[in-house]
A = this chain, B = another copy of it.
Amino acid sequence: MESEIGNKTDSGATVTKGKDLVEDIKIGYIGGGSRGWAYTLINDLAQCKTITGEVVLYDRVFESAKRNERFGNWVQDREDAVGDWEYTAVEDRATALEGADFVVLSTQDPPPETMAHELDIPAKYGIYQSVGDTVGPGGTVRAMRTIPVYRDIAGAIREHCPEAWVINYTNPMTICVRTLYEEYPDINAVGCCHEVFHTQEHLAKLVGKYRDTDQPSRKEINVNVKGINHFTWIDEMSWRGENLHPLLETHLKEEIRDRSFEPGSLDEDSYFVDNELVTYELYERFGIFPAAGDRHLAEFVPWFLTADDAKDVQQWGIRLTPSEYRVNRQEDALTKFHGPMNGEEEFEFFESGEELVDIIHALLGFEDLKTNLNMPNCGQVSNLPENAVVETNALFTDDCVMPLTSGELPAQVHNIVSTHVVNQETLIKAGFSGDVDLAFQAFLNDPLVTISMTDARAMFNELMTAVRPYLEDHWNLDNASVVH
Interface residues in chain A, defined as those with a beta carbon under 8 Å from any beta carbon in chain B: 8-18, 216-217, 219-220, 222, 224, 236, 238, 240-241, 281, 284-286, 302-304, 306-307, 312, 315, 355, 358, 361-362, 365, 367-371, 378-382, 386, 393, 395, 397-400, 402-408, 411-412, 414-416, 418-419, 422-423, 425-426, 429, 437-438, 440-442, 444-445, 449-454, 456, 481-482
Question: What is the CA–CA distance of A386 and B418 in the complex, to the nearest angstrom?
Answer: 18
Pair A285/B368 contact, Cβ less than 8 Å? no
Known pairs A386-B382, A405-B380; A395 contacts B13 (CB<8 A): yes
- Return chain B residues, CB-CB under 8 Å to A415: 418-419, 422-423, 426, 445
Rounded to whole angstroms, the CA-CA distance of A295 and B167 in the bound complex is: 44
Q: Is the CB of A482 within 8 A of B9?
A: no
Name the one of B216, B398, B425, B449 contacting A222, with C-beta atoms under 8 angstroms.
B398
Q: Closest residue to A367 on the B side, CB-wise?
A: B11
Please, how many angstroms separate the alpha-carbon atoms of A376 and B400 in the complex? 24
Q: How many angstroms from the CA of A128 to the CA of B399 in the assembled complex?
A: 43
With A415-B419, A422-B411, A422-B415 as given contacts, are A13 and B368 in contact (CB-CB < 8 Å)?
A: yes
Would B285 and A12 count as touching, CB distance under 8 A? no
Tell me, rounded to whole Å, the shortest Cβ–Cβ distance linking A484 to chain B.
11
**A368 engages B14 (CB within 8 Å):** yes
The closest CB in chain B to the CB of A362 belongs to B11
Q: Which residues of B contact A426 (CB under 8 A)?
A: 411-412, 415
- A241-B399, A370-B395, A379-B382 known; 19 new pairs, CB 8 Å cut-off, are A11-B219, A12-B219, A12-B358, A13-B369, A14-B367, A16-B220, A238-B398, A238-B399, A284-B481, A285-B441, A285-B482, A286-B441, A303-B452, A304-B452, A379-B405, A379-B407, A380-B405, A404-B404, A412-B441
**Residues of B with C-beta under 8 A to A442:** 412
Set of chain B residues within 8 Å of A378, measured between Cβ atoms: 382, 405, 407-408
Instruction: Give every chain B residue within 8 A of A8 (Cβ-Cβ).
Output: 367
| 7 pairs from A and B in contact (CB 8 Å cutoff) | A10-B361, A236-B400, A240-B399, A303-B449, A395-B404, A402-B404, A403-B404
Enumerate chain B residues within 8 angstroms of A17, measured Cβ to Cβ. 220, 240
CA distance A416 to B419 in the complex (A): 8
Nearest chain B CB to A1's CB is how many angstroms away? Answer: 18
Chain B residues with CB under 8 Å of A379's CB are: 379-382, 405-407
A381–B173 Cα distance when bound, in Å, is 26
When A14-B368, A369-B11, A378-B382 are in contact, do A395 and B395 touch as well, CB less than 8 Å? yes
- A451 contacts B14, C-beta separation under 8 Å: no
Chain B residues within an 8 Å CB radius of A367: 8, 10-11, 13-14
A379 CA to B292 CA, complexed, in Å: 24
Cβ-closest chain B residue relative to A5: B8
In the complex, which residue of chain B has the Cβ closest to the Cβ of A396? B13
Residues of B within 8 A of A445 (CB): 412, 415-416
Nearest-CB distance from A125 to chain B (Å)? Answer: 11
CB distance from A340 to the nearest CB of B (A): 25
A12 touching B399, Cβ below 8 Å: no
Min CB distance, A64 to chain B, in Å? Answer: 30
CB within 8 Å for A365 and B395 given contacts A304-B452, A355-B12, A412-B441? no
Q: Bound complex: CA of A456 vs CA of B397, how far in Å?
A: 41
Q: Are A454 and B404 neighbours in the complex by a CB distance under 8 Å?
A: no
Q: Which residues of B contact A454 (CB under 8 A)?
A: 315
Min Cβ gap A376→B in Å is 10
Q: Determine which of B217, B285, B438 lies in contact with A9 in the assembled complex, contact meaning CB atoms within 8 Å.
A: B217
A-B pairs with lowest CB-CB distance, top 8: A379-B379, A450-B450, A241-B399, A379-B382, A412-B441, A303-B453, A13-B370, A15-B219
Q: Are A405 and B407 in contact (CB under 8 A)?
A: no
B residues less than 8 Å from A220 (CB atoms): 15-18
Minimum distance in angstroms from A461 CB to a CB of chain B = 14
Which of A224, A307, A369 is most buried by chain B, counting CB atoms within 10 A of its CB?
A369
Distance in angstroms from A370 CB to nearest chain B CB is 4
